[in-house]
Amino acid sequence: MKTGEETAPAVLTVFELRVAELAATGTPATAIAETLGVSANAVAEQLRTIYRKLGPPRSVSRGGR
């Protein structure tokens, strides 16, 4: 990226946001699928899309820092 170049913020769809919210609470993918009335494969695909848009989850702990 060039200096001063801005990147557009990642935008999640309403469905992706709901999947992300449930996943963030520790809800298993199978339970997310059941709650939202979709297949577990659909949830897995949405999680891949979310990670691609937002990046991988960051660790809360930094190894004792």
pLDDT tens for each residue of 5-47 = 566 677 899 999 999 999 999 999 999 999 999 999 999 999 9
| Residue 43: per-residue pLDDT | 97
Residue found by looking up tokens 């659909």 in the block = 42
Residue 1 pLDDT grade (very low, low, confident, very high; cuts 50, 70, 90): very low
0.75 surpassed by pTM: no
Residue 43, class by beta-carbon neighbours within 10 Å (0-12 exposed, 13-18 middle, 19+ buried)?
A: buried
